[in-house]
């Protein structure tokens, strides 16, 4: 009998068996603590002509991933960590799409990107083939969410809302100043973002009693804005409106100042270069310039804390940082509620999200056709080397100076 | 219809812009004239020089115009060493290899700049940036007037150097007949390196003149390369005078095109010149037949 037992349970078999038993019963916490990470593709233009913006987005995104993981990961998934796969669109549409394909092979549960509207449009369409959720962190074109794609979600406002709110704010500012502005010239970059914004502005300006005299498009990059400044001077508008990426925004602003273009105000919608660096390094050029853009909620303690952390790294707290950060948090919230990285469940969780975007001055999140209805831009003005919020009133830190004093 | 005063202002601004284009194009045409290759790293090296100007200003507070002799000399040494250690060594005496090496260099330099400097836009805000000279309807920014004048002076100095100095004569000899120059005892490899160095020195000077009115990012140098190529083709590949005159023609064409056709369509003028020259006078305005 003993021999039989010996034969049935050998020493080697006993060790293996007890190890397995101990493994499954005695140390369940260890096994449970290592669920597969949730892979998230972050596609941004970290090289190419908008590399700075892409790097800022990546900074915000990686900080958010770090924060989610430090806080215990996705709890409903056993504490699964988020693993960010970082992709570079090189500021090119085809490369952005190639990154989507590559990351799909690596098994991503969702994508976040892409800063430029054309890249976002093409990349999210590529992701739609695999039914993978795509969160647009930055990308202004409303075409992104108007194609009926179920996998696309945008937390921020598109250029339609920015134009509507911007026009309403400009109307109020102009009215308060006695309606001094009656004409405008719009200078915009020639891509989807700038052209789309400019056309919307042109259509809406008459509703506040301002006529758009001309739309002037320019390429990226543009070496010299002297001609545009001269054309504007020859038309003598009351307001110059701008929609451009960072470098061209800054160069145009500097040229208008150097060419002594005297108008009642400069008013940009999604002005890519309107940030702390611009107003601090060029206080004379930027003084009194106004911009309708994404802005953090200055009354949010979380936003202020993140601002300090970002600035401690030597970086600027630009909209790319807090928008991508917020999108990672939106995704983490959806994963938590879905309890799974399954694409269909995750898409459902995003579509029904009521995520509270704490960093932003937004209302409650509600996606309709992928666009968050609670998203709102703010209107800022450069005053004495700093940026002040002038609208909406509940977040305003200063009153608008309009018309601006003559040069 | 545009006010004639605005047109005059446009022409003057075009001339000022042309001054910078000349300097970038002269470097390019000099390298082509001697080495018989298009320097694909031209934009990247211009960007590096612009960063040098920016950091000198940011870290030491050196005004871009004061930095001009230092950056120009530094750019010459950099170009000379780059040719000696990289381009000349790895080309194995074949012109087509040089072309590929400069293309590779461009990619490497751009990405090294991105790694070390980031993609952020850097500008220099000099106290005189907002000053201008009023000439009728034209407001000519002071930094652009200084750039224009400095560019002309530098071109004249370079022209005299090429015409009068022994090295200049040797460069011209190598450009004309490489084998013959070697037979009469000219160190051709050294002349290649010197020519490349002078070409890059022109970029160093251009960077100093550009920075008070422009910005630098790891890709900003490329904005000037296409226009410089057009100027070189218009003036005649390898022609020093051609590059100088071509620069002003392109500057004015760009200005008038921008005024009459809008900023985007205005660029057609430059492309049109490029095509017409290739069709009807492939040697350019002052180029000689190969």
pLDDT digits (tens, 9 = 90+) for A125-140: 999 999 999 999 999 9
One domain, residues A248 and A342:
no
Three-state secondary-structure class, residue A273: coil
Backbone φ, ψ for residue A155 (5° rounding): -75, -35
Q: Which residue of A has its CA nearest to B21?
A: A223
pLDDT number for residue A220: 87
Mean pLDDT of chain A: 91
Gyration radius of chain B's alpha carbons: 19
Spatial neighbors of A254 by CB under 8 A, at least 6 apart, are: A282, A285, B123, B129, B213
Put simply, the answer to whether B130 touches A247 (Cβ < 8 Å) is no
Quick check: A379 and A389 in contact, CB under 8 A? yes
CB contacts, 8 Å: A281 with chain B = 123, 125
Put simply, the answer to whether A223 touches B227 (Cβ < 8 Å) is yes
Q: Which residue of B has its CA nearest to A231?
A: B259
Report the C-alpha gap between A290 and A239 in whole angstroms: 11
Closest CA–CA distance from residue B166 to any residue of chain A (Å):
37
Quick check: A243 and A193 in contact, CB under 8 A? yes
One domain, residues A150 and A50:
yes
pLDDT number for residue A346: 98
Q: Which tokens sit at B219?
A: 């890709």
Section A196-218 average pLDDT: 96
Decide if A32 is inside a domain.
no
pLDDT digits (tens, 9 = 90+) for B57-104: 999 999 999 999 999 999 999 999 999 999 999 988 787 888 899 999
Q: In the structure, what pLDDT confidence band is assigned to residue A240 with cuts at 50, 70 and 90?
A: very high
Quick check: A159 and A166 in contact, CB under 8 A? no
**Closest by Cβ to A52, choosing from B111, B120, B258:** B120
pLDDT number for residue A395: 83
Domain range enclosing A17: 2-27
pTM of the model: 0.82
Decide if A301 is inside a domain.
no
**Closest by Cβ to A260, choosing from B2, B132, B218:** B132
Closest CA–CA distance from residue A55 to any residue of chain B (Å):
7
Decide if A97 is inside a domain.
yes
Decide if A222 is inside a domain.
yes
Alpha helices in B83-221 (DSSP H): 88-91, 95-117, 142-164, 166-176, 178-183, 188-210
Q: In the structure, what pLDDT confidence band is assigned to residue B38 with cuts at 50, 70 and 90?
A: confident
Put simply, the answer to whether A254 touches B213 (Cβ < 8 Å) is yes
One domain, residues A133 and A91:
yes
pLDDT digits (tens, 9 = 90+) for B146-190: 999 999 999 999 999 999 999 999 999 999 999 999 999 999 999
Put simply, the answer to whether A281 touches B258 (Cβ < 8 Å) is no
pLDDT above 70 covers what percent of chain A? 92
Closest CA–CA distance from residue A226 to any residue of chain B (Å):
7
**How many residues are listed for chain A in this entry?**
407
Put simply, the answer to whether B129 touches A217 (Cβ < 8 Å) is no
Report the C-alpha gap between A165 and A380 in whole angstroms: 12
What is the domain count for chain A? 3
Tell whether A102 is within 8 A of chain B (Cβ). Answer: no
pLDDT number for residue B248: 93
Put simply, the answer to whether A257 touches B219 (Cβ < 8 Å) is no
pLDDT number for residue A15: 47
Q: Complex ipTM, two decimals?
A: 0.84
CA angle A184, A278, A250 (to 5 degrees): 50
pLDDT number for residue A8: 43
Put simply, the answer to whether A247 touches B220 (Cβ < 8 Å) is yes
Put simply, the answer to whether B262 touches A217 (Cβ < 8 Å) is yes
pLDDT digits (tens, 9 = 90+) for A4-53: 444 444 545 444 544 444 444 444 444 455 799 999 999 999 998 889 99
One domain, residues A9 and A75:
no
Report the C-alpha gap between A324 and A121 in whole angstroms: 17
Decide if A405 is inside a domain.
no
Q: Which residue of A has its CA nearest to B144?
A: A258
Report the C-alpha gap between A340 and A77 in whole angstroms: 6
Backbone φ, ψ for residue A244 (5° rounding): -145, 165
**Closest by Cβ to B130, choosing from A50, A246, A257:** A257
One domain, residues A137 and A235:
no
CB contacts, 8 Å: B110 with chain A = 47
Tell whether A219 is within 8 A of chain B (Cβ). Answer: yes
Cα–Cα nearest to B256, from A230, A232, A218, A189: A230
CB contacts, 8 Å: B263 with chain A = 216-219, 222, 227-228
Tell whether A353 is within 8 A of chain B (Cβ). Answer: no
Q: How far is CA A175 from the centre of its chain?
A: 32
Put simply, the answer to whether A254 touches B129 (Cβ < 8 Å) is yes
pLDDT digits (tens, 9 = 90+) for B220-265: 998 898 899 999 999 998 888 899 999 999 999 998 988 888 777 7
**Closest by Cβ to B217, choosing from A52, A226, A284:** A52
Decide if A42 is inside a domain.
yes
pLDDT digits (tens, 9 = 90+) for A269-296: 999 899 998 998 899 999 999 999 999 9
CB contacts, 8 Å: B215 with chain A = 247, 250-251
Which strands, in side-by-side order, build the sheet including A110-113? Answer: A82-88, A38-44, A110-113, A134-136, A152-154, A371-372, A367-368
Backbone φ, ψ for residue B125 (5° rounding): -105, 90
CATH code: domain of residue A259:
3.40.50.2300
Better-scored residue on pLDDT, A332 or B127: A332
Quick check: B240 and B285 in contact, CB under 8 A? no
One domain, residues A59 and A207:
no
Q: Which residue of A has its CA nearest to B13?
A: A226
One domain, residues A351 and A246:
no
**Closest by Cβ to B139, choosing from A219, A224, A259:** A259
Decide if A309 is inside a domain.
no
Closest CA–CA distance from residue A217 to any residue of chain B (Å):
6
One domain, residues A205 and A281:
yes
One domain, residues A145 and A181:
no
One domain, residues A247 and A289:
yes
Q: Which residue of A has its CA nearest to B143?
A: A258
One domain, residues A47 and A147:
yes
Decide if A200 is inside a domain.
yes
One domain, residues A58 and A82:
yes
Put simply, the answer to whether A51 touches B114 (Cβ < 8 Å) is yes
Put simply, the answer to whether B119 touches A52 (Cβ < 8 Å) is yes
Mean pLDDT of chain B: 91
């Amino acid at each position: 009998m003993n021999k039989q037992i010996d034969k049935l349970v050998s020493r080697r078999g006993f060790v293996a068996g007890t190890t397995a038993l101990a493994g499954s019963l005695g140390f369940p916490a260890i096994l449970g603590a290592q669920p597969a990470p949730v892979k998230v593709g972050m596609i941004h233009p970290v090289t190419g002509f908008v590399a700075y913006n892409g790097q800022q987005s990546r900074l915000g995104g990686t900080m958010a991933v770090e924060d989610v993981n430090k806080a215990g990961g996705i709890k409903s998934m056993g504490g699964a960590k988020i693993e960010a796969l970082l992709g570079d669109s090189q500021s090119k549409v085809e490369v952005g799409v190639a990154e989507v394909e590559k990351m799909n092979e690596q098994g991503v549960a969702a994508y976040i990107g892409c800063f430029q509207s054309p890249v976002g449009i093409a990349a999210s369409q590529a992701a739609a083939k695999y039914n993978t959720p795509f969160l647009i962190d930055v990308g202004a074109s409303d075409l992104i969410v108007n194609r009926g794609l179920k996998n696309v979600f945008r937390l921020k406002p598109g250029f339609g809302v920015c134009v509507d709110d911007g026009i309403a704010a400009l109307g109020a500012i102009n009215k308060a100043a006695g309606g001094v502005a009656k004409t405008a010239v719009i200078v915009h970059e020639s891509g989807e973002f700038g052209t789309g914004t400019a056309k919307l502005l042109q259509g809406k300006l008459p509703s506040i009693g301002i006529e758009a005299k001309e739309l002037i498009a320019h390429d990226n990059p543009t070496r010299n804005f002297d001609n545009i400044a001269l054309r504007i001077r020859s038309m003598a508008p009351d307001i110059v409106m701008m929609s451009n990426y960072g470098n061209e925004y800054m160069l145009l602003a500097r040229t208008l100042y150097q060419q002594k273009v005297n108008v009642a105000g400069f008013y940009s919608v999604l002005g890519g270069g309107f940030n702390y660096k611009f107003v601090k390094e060029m206080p004379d050029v930027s003084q009194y310039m106004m911009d309708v853009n994404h802005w953090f909620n200055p009354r949010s303690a979380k936003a202020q804390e993140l601002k300090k952390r970002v600035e401690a790294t030597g970086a600027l707290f630009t909209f790319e940082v807090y928008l991508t950060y917020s999108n990672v948090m939106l995704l983490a919230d959806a994963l938590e509620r879905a309890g799974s990285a399954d694409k269909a469940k995750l898409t459902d969780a995003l579509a029904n999200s009521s995520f509270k975007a704490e960093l932003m001055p937004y209302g409650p999140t509600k996606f309709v056709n992928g666009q968050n209805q609670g998203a709102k831009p703010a209107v800022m003005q450069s005053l004495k080397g700093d940026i002040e919020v002038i609208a909406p009133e509940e977040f305003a830190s200063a009153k608008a100076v309009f018309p601006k004093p003559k040069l | 219809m545009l006010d004639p005063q605005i047109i005059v202002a446009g022409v003057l601004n075009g001339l000022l812009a042309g001054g910078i284009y000349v300097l970038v194009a002269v470097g390019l045409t000099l390298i082509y004239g001697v080495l018989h290759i298009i320097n694909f790293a031209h934009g990247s090296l211009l960007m590096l020089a612009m960063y040098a100007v920016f950091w000198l200003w940011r870290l030491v507070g050196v005004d871009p115009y004061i930095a001009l002799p230092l950056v120009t000399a530094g750019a010459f040494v950099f170009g000379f060493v780059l040719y000696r250690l990289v381009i000349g060594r790895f080309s194995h005496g074949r012109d087509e290899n040089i072309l590929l090496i400069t293309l590779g260099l461009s990619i490497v330099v751009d990405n090294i700049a991105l790694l070390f400097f980031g993609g952020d836009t850097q500008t220099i805000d000099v106290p005189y940036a907002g000053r201008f000279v009023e000439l009728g309807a034209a407001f000519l920014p002071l930094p652009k007037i200084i750039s224009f004048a400095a560019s002309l002076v530098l071109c004249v100095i370079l022209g005299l150097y090429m015409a009068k100095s022994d090295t200049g004569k040797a460069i011209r000899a190598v450009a004309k007949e490489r084998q013959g120059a070697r037979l009469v005892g000219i160190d051709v490899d050294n002349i290649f390196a010197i020519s490349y160095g002078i070409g890059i020195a022109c970029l160093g000077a251009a960077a100093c003149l550009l920075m008070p009115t422009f910005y630098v990012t790891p890709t900003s140098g490329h904005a000037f390369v296409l226009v410089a190529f057009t100027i070189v083709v218009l003036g005649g590949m390898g022609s020093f005078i051609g590059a100088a005159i071509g620069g002003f023609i392109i500057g004015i064409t760009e200005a008038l095109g921008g005024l009459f056709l809008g900023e985007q369509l205005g660029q057609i003028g430059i492309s049109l010149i490029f095509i017409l020259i290739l069709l009807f006078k492939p040697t350019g305005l002052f180029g000689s037949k190969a």
